[in-house]
Structure 1
Amino acid sequence: MSVKRFVAANSRDAMRQVRAALGEDALILSNRRVTEGVEILALADDDHGRMTERPAGSPGLADAPSPRVPTHRSPPPANRSMPQPAAEPSETPIPTTQGTPLDFAAFSERVLGEMHDLRALLTTQQSLSLSATHGVNSEVERLQHRLLGAGFSPRLAAELLETLPAELGGAEQNGEAGEAWLKRQLAARLPTLDDEAALLDAGGVFALIGPTGIGKTTTTAKLAARYVMRHGGADVALVTTDSYRVGAHEQLRIYARLLGVEVHALEADAPLGDLLDRLAAKRLVIVDTVGMSQRDQRLVGQVAMLGDSTQGDSARPIRRLLLLNAASHGDTLDEVVDTYQRASLAAGAPLYGAILTKVDEAPRLGAVLDIAIRHGLRLHYVSHGQQVPEDLRLAEREPLIEQALAAGGESCFVAESGGLHRSPTGRRLQSLSRGLLGQGRALAAALATLRREVTGFGMLEQAWPLLGYPLEQQRRRLPELLDPTLWRDMDSKEPPQAMLWARSTTVSGADWPMPALCLNAEGRALALPWLAHLQPAGEAERLHWAESQLGMRWQLLPNCPTAAAREYLERGIAVWLAIVQGNSRVIAAGERYTLAALAAHAEPRAQVDCRYRGHDTRLAVSRLAVTRIDGESLNAWFGTLSDADSGRQMAQRYWLAPRHDDRESALIESMVAQLIHDDLPLLTRRAWQRLDETGQQRVDPELRLLVAAGLAAVASRLDQEHAPWAMDVRAQLLGLLGGRRSRSPSVLLEALMHLFTARDAFVQVGGHGIGDEARR
């Protein structure tokens, strides 16, 4: 056996040669750029096992001389969108230095051992150091350097970059796609105030807390000014509890006089509740508290004094806003938030949120944003100067992230890229808990994106918890989920446009027929399955129901429509397309033929790239005018599906459709939509079976099928979708499974079930708002 050399114009063509010659499990020994293009040295996986078997009495690895072979780093793979002609493959064995076969075996064992170590490292958070250690100029290294340079912690960098999509991991990236991905990840995890108007209109009691010298008094005035500009000052009262700092009372009185609002000074150790009772008529009360170090032993007692008012059932809760100095070191901020959060919980409620101060003095915002993300602390406002009220603005995700990542220049306090090391043994438990919180943030981000982007995912979230309910409650709640009026009125940016009808027969290996599924305008599946037994009985009635009740404009049929259905379709506005068998007979040129026999005579119309069952494929579409046996004039469409890389034919499909020459492009898109979803019955059956493995005792069959079909639709959607949001969610979901899993609908289905199971676990312990949407 020997190592083989492959040379091609680009990495894609070279890897195609490797797969064709050695299979999918080939081991890549070297990848470098040469004059002819790209050279790859590869070895079949089973060859390695035979080559490295050491006979009895043979010298070990340490005794065998290692041949001197230059090490070559992997060059950036070529751009997929600009393929170049492939060079002829060269599969000649590599010449090695003179010596016994054991010399090469020892060398092979050493090199491949290092490769296995490399693969193991890639599955851990510590893999981020790999790029610097091995000198690979990868996108991981570049993004890691960006995060650390902006002031974000190595821990958050590891959490983010371990879910970097495979599409962005190569060294050939120009940086724009990776930069956009990084900003989306940070924005998805950074909690900010969504509606300032609602906050100010509702009013309430707010206490500004934090260490000394952080700007609480000035921020109190700025916050009051924002309210006064909307509602006037008659319903505002300011309270100061700072009896330690000289001039604190007078400073707040000056601001109050300028704003035209009341001000009250609370003596040391005096109960705040009594004063709040007297101010019950005020819509907004802002309490300027005494500054106190996070290491001061009196902190818990001071925060405990900020209890609710004492009016019994009508008590007004005090919302504690923590002020964070954006110019502080990350470790200091971490300690501040941790200490004040524990003190606030001891007082009866968690921190309500945070306000960033001294942003104008901070060279880097990464640290304070990192703290807000990792602690789940919602940012309300940003203070960036002394002017009242001009220098207080609403905390907005995108501008804050842009400002943080725009920090330039080197810093001697920023770790070198790749310097992320394993925690000492004594800190493993702490690292584990923070890792779990990081997973919770990733889950929350994935769930929020799916709710926003996939119509019907919210319904799926509501249905999933019902699987664990008693059977009677399942059946009581199920009609709400199946109500068509609720689904039709669902607020969505992608309303259903096409109905993907399934065969009326049962799915292979199951005792139920596949539900119908809605598709959006791009032909992507929505999580809106329609159970077969809840649809109207006749085909014409079903088509009318889908068009009139759900607004469907395309009807994708599993076989040629009946005479009654065709009569309805001729009167309606929806366009139909039917996938049929190759042995279906039609009339062409006055003779009866099967569609399979006519395929070679059809006129080529288009070639379309698509994803089919987890593979990149190309569909060649051709057309031929035919007549049905009953005399109806139709177009027969023929689709040949081939592997995009090898050109190997994978499938042949046939369709019949009305002769709509003006809608040809839309018809071809509908053919692709019907083709790429032909694995939905198998995915639904797999989800059905997996739901039986969840340990649920009794589950209503309708509910189980609804959830299974919804999960299958979302898995298919994620595999098909090219949008950046789908790439992000795919990476997050595949990260849940661990290891290196290839993207496919079945793998994504498994990951989705992990997502819901993990969400249930976090909901039980109150994790980061993961289950908020489902609970609502």
Structure 2
Amino acid sequence: MSVKRFIGVNSRDAMRQVRAALGDDALVLSNRNVHEGVEILAMADNEHGQMIGRQDEATHSPPESSRPTSASPVAQVTASARSTPKDTRRAETGFRAEADFAAFSQRVLGEMQDLRTLLTGQMQNVSAASRDSENSTLARLQRRLLGAGFGVRLVQELLEAPPVELIHAADEMALDWSRRQLAARLPVLEDEAALLDEGGVFALVGPTGVGKTTTTAKLAARYVMRHGADGVALVTTDSYRIGAHEQLRIYARLLGVEVHALEADAPLDGLIAHLAHKRLIIIDTVGMSQRDQRLAGQIAMLGEEPSGRRSARPIRRLLLLNAASHGDTLDEVVDTYQRASRAAGAPLFGAILTKLDEAPRLGAVMDIAIRHGLRLHYVSHGQQVPEDLDLANREALLDQALSAPGDSSFAAQPPASSGSSSSRRMQSLSRGLLGQGRALVTALATLRNEIAGFALLEQAWSLLGYPLERQQALLTALLDAGSRRQHLDGKESTHALLWSPARPVAGVDWAMPVLCLNEAGQMQALPWLAHRLPTGEEARLDWARSCLKVRWQLMNRCPGAATRRYLAESDSTWLATVQAGSRIVTGGEHHTLAQAKATAAPWTELTCRYRGRDAHLALSHLPGTLADGEPVTAWFGTLSEADSSRQLARRYWLAPRDGTPNQAFAEALVAQLVHDDLPVLTRRAWQCLEEIGPRLDPELRLLVASALASVASRLDQERSDWAMDVRALLLGLLGGRRARSPSVLLDALLHLLTARDVFVMVGGDGLAEQGAW
């Protein structure tokens, strides 16, 4: 039986392959989800029929050993039976009936045997896949994270859609990836100086014995070392614990600061008003279990006047967490104190970790901080004041958490996952919107930080939901050159401009905007609408030099003589994509570039991504002159698929003859080549935006579409770790397994920004309060 195996990214793709190879009448034997997508086992219908025919023939023609001979009793009976016609007909009829039944039985047994063989093979494949899965890099990473104390829920969230690059990666690379994911989700205090300089009123809250009094003294000491003792005051409301007041008074006397004691149920507004001249007030509150019924009332009193109004000087609540506590206990503490704090008018301002020196594993407390979005300010690891209090450092904390030795005897085991992609998707959804929200926050924050102009794209996207008149009124500010340059502050500068033909893109009535590239030839999200630029080639180049300070001009045709002189005088470099029929003079004769390629000298071979594929670019060059006598260098590029070496494209360029080519020149060549699909990608984004609504300003729509296309192209091209992480997050939004390509990443970006809008509308359950949106 000739069974063929087909694998596609989804069921539709696999069935398309089956029809192409075996026709519409193909017999599908099985289908299942595999690592690469969907696997289908099928065979041609005619082969199935031939197989049955061969079985019939074998049934009607018994083996030689079973055929009767002249000496056999069967032969004698048969010979005598031939003498009677009626008996002969009866014998023939009985033989046919027996033969038909025998053939049917043989076919059934044959099909059962084939099915058994097929199922046995599949079970062996499943068993092998199961063993491979248990020993895979991601499985080992999962065990490592669980062993470090991170909870099942967070681990599953991290590993829901890992980058494809990790599937066969080394364990260290996978661990580095997980460290980046955790770091991106862990909020910490970034600027202690700003916090202490601003001051305010802080209340340390938390369970009994977590170290609030000692931490109060440590915080006061850090302030005193920076600003002196005059600007700080300590307040204690812990009248339950014996000696609590006296302990804080000893610390205050050593630091030279004021200390005030209040009963636990006494109002704070009068004392805080009395201490208005103090820049920093730290309140040491009474410790309460998260299960104490009085907790909500105590938290509510922090910051309220007797009338119930909010205090004029708000009290910021810092929750102290014992890093050595069990994860379930920490989860309950944070949940209870956060609900009480919200009910009192504001969420917890942040958290301080205590007893790090007593904690064998930090995974649990890191997990809690991440899942609850709790910003870590400080960590305490001893009793010395103020030495044993440090600013929370996410990298150091995660290094310590992930370096926990051995496996934990109390680490939860991951639940067995089902085989179907739909059930996995339902499990993912059941983990809650907060998990998805954290992934969105991480992706958005990374894109803002790494791609110049992404924040501008977000602003433009937000305008799409406004009425048309409002869109047009706010568009001017988005297009202002001064405000756009601000999006480059502290980020990559614009190094080159990619100019497109002035004619409209096929299928639409607009010309492609001018696009910005950084020094590595990578896209920025800063498109410039072509129809708003000055008229004339030289005027536009002068604008580019004066407004953006760019030196490289990547052009769509060879510039004229006047333009080339202008570029030379302004110390600008140009590179022009030209056609194979363009002519240069070499060896005293005119040749087309297609003809001249045969005499070009090889230069180098580069790797790149071209329209969603890994490719090799072989470059060669040839000196020559233009018709007006100006010396130029002709460049020739042959692009081949990395896996199959199949040729994908040929390209031709002209450039001024300016000495030996360097890395910057190679990057310019590659940039012009790999971005030649941006008009098509922008057109696709333009069409997708139509679904938002019919009343969109065309300029705003084009601005958003071209920026989206630029970001999608950048993500496909970028080889950095951050891009790998963002790609995994984005592709996870689409569900299932999708091959990486600019068009797929464009779809994912549309999902990302749409989901962002939804979270903003519903408030993000605290995400918006953290400034994530």
Q: Normalising to structure 2: TM-score of the pair?
A: 0.84
8 Å Cα contact 2:32-2:40 kept in structure 1: no
What is the aligned partner in structure 1 of residue 280 from structure 2? 284
Q: Distance in 1 between matches of 2:209 and 2:44?
A: 66
Match of 1:13 in 2: none
Are residue 231 (structure 1) and residue 227 (structure 2) matched? yes
Secondary structure, counterpart of 2:635 in structure 1: strand
Q: Which amino acid aligns with 2:371?
A: R
* Inter-partner Cα distance in structure 2 for 1:740 and 1:429: 15
**Aligned equivalents of 1:292 and 1:370: distance in 2?**
23
Distance 1:421 1:640, change over 3 A: closer
1:2 counterpart residue number: 2
Deviation at 1:2, TM superposition (A): 3.2
The aligned counterpart of 1:103 is 113
Q: SS of the residue aligned with 1:536?
A: coil
Work out whether residues 141 and 418 of structure 1, in 8 Å CA contact, stay in contact via their aligned partners in 2: no
Displacement after TM superposition at 1:765 (Å): 1.9
Q: Counterpart of 1:555 in 2: which secondary structure?
A: strand
Q: Percent identity?
A: 63
Give the structure 2 partner of residue 275 of structure 1.
271
Q: Does 1:256 align with 2:266?
A: no
Q: Runs of 5+ in structure 1 lacking a partner?
A: 7-17, 32-39, 57-98, 119-129, 423-427
Aligned to 2:74: none
Shifted more, 655-664 versus 539-548: the winner is 655-664
Q: CA deviation at 1:630?
A: 2.6
Choose from 533, 538, 541 the match for 1:543: 541
| Partner residue, 1:756 | 753
Matches within 5 A, 1:490-639: 490-639=488-637
The one-letter code matched in structure 2 to 1:639 is: G
Distance in 2, matches of 1:639 and 1:579, equals 11
Bigger drift between 332-341 and 536-545 goes to 536-545
Aligned to 1:64: none
Partners of 1:637 and 1:757 lie apart in 2 by: 43
The match for 2:355 is 358
In the alignment, residue 511 of structure 1 is paired with which amino acid?
D
Any conservation in 1 of the 2:584–2:591 contact (CA below 8 Å)?
Answer: yes
Residue by residue, what CA displacement relative to the aligned partner does 1:232-257 show, whole Å, maximum 9, x if unpaired?
12222211111111111111111111
**CA distance in structure 2 between the partners assigned to 1:498 and 1:469 by the alignment:** 33
Aligned to 2:730: 733
**Which whole-Å CA distance do the structure 1 matches of 2:45 and 2:337 have between them?**
58
Q: Distance in 1 between matches of 2:418 and 2:360?
A: 26
| Contact in 1 for aligned 2:5/2:41 (Cα 8 Å) | no
User: Quick check: 1:52–1:108 contact (8 Å CA) kept in 2?
Assistant: no
Distance apart, 1:317 and its partner CA: 0.5
CA contact (8 A) 1:636 1:656 kept: yes
Partner of 2:175: 179
2:482 maps to 1:472: no
For the 8 Å contact 2:264–2:286, the answer to whether it is kept is no
Q: Which residue of 1 aligns with 2:646?
A: 648
Give the whole-Å Cα distance in 1 for the aligned partners of 2:529 and 2:771: 22
**CA, structure 1 residues 241+412, in 2 after alignment: closer, same or farther (shift >3 Å)?**
same
Tell me how far apart the structure 1 counterparts of residues 294 and 426 of structure 2 sit (CA, whole Å). Answer: 29
CA distance in 2, matches of 1:364, 1:132: 30
Amino acid at match of 1:575: T
1:770 Cα deviation after fit: 5.7
Query: Is 2:148–2:407's contact at 8 Å kept on the other side of the alignment?
Result: no
Q: Which residue matches 2:83? A: none
Query: Size of the alignment, in residue pairs?
Result: 692
Q: CA deviation at 1:671?
A: 1.3
Question: 2:460 maps to which residue?
Answer: 463
Alignment of 1:141-540 (within 5 A): 141-170=139-168, 173-308=169-304, 315-416=312-413, 434-489=431-486, 490-540=488-538
CA displacement at 1:52 relative to structure 2: 9.5
- SS of alignment partner, residue 661 of structure 2: helix
Q: d(CA) in 1 for partners of 2:445 and 2:33?
A: 41
Query: What is the CA–CA distance in structure 1 between the aligned matches of 2:611 and 2:485, rounded to whole Å?
Result: 30
Deviations 1:61-100 (A, max 9, x none): xxxxxxxxxxxxxxxxxxxxxxxxxxxxxxxxxxxxxx83
Segment of structure 1 superposing worse, 527-536 or 599-608: 599-608
Contact 1:51/1:105 (<8 A) preserved: no
Matches within 5 A, 1:46-85: 46-47=42-43
Output one character per residue of 1:687-724: Cα deviation in whole Å (capped at 9) or x when no partner.
11101112x24111111111111000000000000000
For residue 657 of structure 1, report the CA deviation from its aligned partner.
1.0
Residue segments in structure 2 that go unaligned for 5+ positions in a row: 7-16, 23-27, 53-108, 420-424
CA contact (8 A) 2:269 2:304 kept: yes
- Whether the 8 Å contact between 2:620 and 2:637 is mirrored in structure 1 is yes
Q: CA deviation at 1:434?
A: 4.5
Residues 271-314 of structure 1: CA distance to partner in whole angstroms, max 9, x if unpaired? 12222222222211111111111111111111111124579897
- AA of the residue aligned to 2:584: V
Report the Cα distance in structure 2 between the residues aligned to 1:239 and 1:626, rounded to whole angstroms: 83
User: 2: CA distance between counterparts of 1:114 and 1:283?
Assistant: 71
Counterpart residue number, 2:741: 744
Q: What CA distance in whole angstroms lies between the structure 2 residues aligned with 1:199 and 1:111?
A: 65
> Structure 2 counterpart of 1:104, which letter?
D
Structure with max Cα Rg: 2
Determine helix, strand or coil for the equivalent of 2:632: strand
Distance 2:121 2:707 in 1: 46
Distance 1:347 1:665 in 2: 60
Greater shift in the superposed pair: 330-339 or 661-670: 661-670
Q: Deviations over 1:315-356 (max 9, x none)?
A: 010101111111110011111111111111111111111110
| Structure 1 CA distance for aligned equivalents of residues 224 and 688 of structure 2 | 57
Letter in 2 for 1:438: G
Alpha-carbon distance in structure 2 between the residues aligned to 1:652 and 1:276:
75
Distance 2:460 2:237 in 1: 50
Change in 2 beyond 3 A, CA 1:390/1:564: same
Q: Partners in 1 of 2:46 and 2:230 — Cα distance?
A: 87
C-alpha separation in 2, matches of 1:177 and 1:676? 28
CA distance in 1, matches of 2:196, 2:331: 29
* Cα pair 1:276 1:309 within 8 Å, conserved: no
Q: Which SS does the other structure have where 1:672 is aligned?
A: helix
Residue 719 to residue 753, structure 1, CA distance change in 2 (3 Å): same
Shift of 1:110: 6.6
Contact 1:131-1:418 at 8 Å conserved across structures: no
1:138 offset after TM fit, Å? 1.1
Task: State the distance in 2 between where 1:27 and 1:730 align.
Answer: 32
Q: Relative to 1, partners in 2 of residues 1:133 and 1:5: Cα closer, same or farther, differing over 3 Å?
A: closer
Higher helix content, 1 or 2: 2
Q: Which SS does the other structure have where 1:524 is aligned?
A: coil
Q: Deviation per CA, 1:427-471: give whole Å up to 9, x if none.
A: x99995752101111111111111111111111111110100122
The answer as to whether partners of 1:579 and 1:655 remain within 8 angstroms in 2 is: yes
1:672 maps to a residue whose letter is V
Partner of 2:707: 710
Q: Tell me how far apart the structure 2 counterparts of residues 440 and 114 of structure 1 sit (CA, whole Å).
A: 40
Q: Structure 1, residues 160-180: CA drift from partner, whole Å, max 9, x if none?
A: 11131100112xx32221121
Q: Letter of the aligned partner of 1:265 in structure 2?
A: A
Counterpart residue identity of residue 581, structure 1: Q
For the 8 Å contact 1:599–1:638, the answer to whether it is kept is: yes
What is the CA–CA distance in structure 2 between the aligned matches of 1:625 and 1:440, rounded to whole Å? 56
The alpha carbon displacement at 1:265 in A equals 1.2
- Describe the SS at the equivalent of 1:411: coil
